[in-house]
Structure 1
Amino acid sequence: MEDAFDRLVDEGEDRLRRPLLPLVSVGLLGGIDVGTGLLAYLVVKHETGNGLLAGLAFSVGFVALLMARSELFTENFLVPVTATVARRGTLAQLGRLWGVTLLTNLLAGWVITWIVVTALPDLAPTAIASAEHFVDLGVGRESFALAVLAGAVITLMTRLQHATESMGVKLVPAVLFGALLAGTQLFHSVLDSLLMFAALHVGAPFGYLDWLRMAAWAVLGNVLGGLVLVTAVRLLRVPHRVAEAREHPGDAT
């Protein structure tokens, strides 16, 4: 547990201090990786009609995220927040990291989903039906609860992956939690934005304002789930390490 905390702080500081160009690159790659997972999801859902199998197929996107070291917006709740709490970064740096990562995830996702539905037009009905599920939920308790769960699931996945240095072990939560996220239709700000983009590219019965409203709602729930249900509880388990880090923020761990 002590070693895991040190790894979180060190990596979080690196992310917070990352120059703009590498930060943009990592975010764009994250959007492409999730778009690849979405391709697998739509193909399997189209061929089988089974959401759980499609969710398992989607996990290829999280495997790509892990092995390529790209990042999603929601993967930046535990690691950089821990570094910020330890006074190894600032709130301004955290806001910059979140904002750039989210925007680049979405930008790359918009492009990759256009390529997917253009290359495989038979997926259009599946994309529209999948996206309409979230639009029809609207802004309410159910969609917010799904967003909170999505934020908690992704942050827990991050926590488990940082508990080990073995790539083989890290792949296990990538597959399991990726399948859980997509297979149960939790409301994830990036994944489900990409679903909506795919639908919008092929004439969805909703517009970009509908997407923006739902995406903002998802972001709020994701942040709450990731920070409160996982990150805060994780930090409460090591209060002495947090206190030490805050007292000596410049010390190497």
Structure 2
Amino acid sequence: MSVAPSPDQVYERATAEGRRRLSLSALDQVSTGFIAGVTIIFGIVALGVVEALVAPPSGSGVGSLAGALAFAIGLVFLVVGRSELFTEDFFDPVAAAIEERGRRVWARLLRLWGITLVLNLVGGALLVALLTVDGALPEGAAHALSRVAEEIAGKGWSATLARAVLAGALITLLSYMLNAVDTVAARILVTYLVGFFLALGPFDHVVVSALHLLFGIWLDGAVGYGALATNLGLSTLGNLLGGLLLVTLTHTAQVKS
């Protein structure tokens, strides 16, 4: 029976992985961010398809639960495939930057964040455009995705910000836990549980929520671009606060103390 690594060992692994990510070329960062945006769409579509199948006979509550279970598959694809969403760069690269110090490393970190976020959205938007072609989605899935978009857009700014803080903390916690496990099976299990909880909330992850809203805009105009812009701003801020303050800096203090 293997022994779980200590916090120091987890942090050392995170630092090594963070150095690797920060040393990637701009082209590597662009391609990794783009693929992640494409990949997470499969989870969003799975949520819509499964919810459309389950909700009519079983009720909206069971449909939402089943949809969250389906969405988690997309996050598993993303982690096993070694592509990265914006919030996955809140723990490992930050740990590396703290160890290395200096202005240059923080500039590289900001570049990584910017490239990853933009390319996550570009890659996801491309697939959303393909899937909003008439008849591309199974019957009922379009309505389910539009309903989710309306729910996201209908929240007040304070609720959106609070849910974004929780989403940032949750995905950054996933990054930490992935450094604490040693097998592919364990990585899949941890990722699936986090993906399920993220969708069940639902919590506002800047990329996932933005792509949900794009479905609502391009499918039937259920929401507008103003709602998308507002959610992007609040979710980005909330994800940063939750990921950095609640998880990354807390674990850093745990190790440094």
State if a TM-score over 0.5 links the two structures.
yes
Number of equivalent positions: 239
SS at match of 1:18: coil
- The answer to whether residue 143 in structure 2 is matched with residue 125 in structure 1 is yes
Within the candidate set 22, 28, 44, 1:16 is matched to 22
Q: What aligned pairs does 1:159-174 form with structure 2 within 5 A after superposition?
A: 159-174=176-191
One-letter amino acid matched to 1:53: A
User: How many angstroms apart in 2 are the aligned matches of 1:98 and 1:194?
Assistant: 18
Structure 2 counterparts to residues 63-212 of structure 1, below 5 A: 63-87=76-100, 90-118=105-133, 119-120=136-137, 122=139, 123-139=141-157, 141-212=158-229
Q: Deviations over 1:206-233 (max 9, x none)?
A: 3223201111100100110001111111
Is 1:235 matched with 2:249?
no
Under a length normalisation based on structure 1, what TM-score does the superposition of the two structures give? 0.91
Output the amino acid matched with 1:63.
V
Check the 8 A contact 2:213/2:223 in 1, yes or no. no
Q: Residue 138 of structure 1 contacts residue 214 of structure 1 at CA under 8 Å; is this kept in 2? A: no
Q: Could you report, residue by residue, the CA deviation over 1:226-249 in whole angstroms, capped at 9, with x for unpaired residues?
A: 011111111111106xxxxxxxxx
Question: Are 2:38 and 1:32 equivalent residues in the alignment?
Answer: yes
User: What residue identity is the alignment partner of 1:101?
Assistant: T
Counterpart of 1:146, as a letter, is R
Look up the SS of the partner of 1:53 in the other structure. helix
Contact 1:144 1:218 in 2 (8 A): yes
Structure 2: segments with no counterpart, 5+ residues? 1-6, 56-62
Structure 2 length normalisation: TM-score? 0.89
RMSD: 1.4
**Contact 2:172-2:248 at 8 Å conserved across structures:** yes
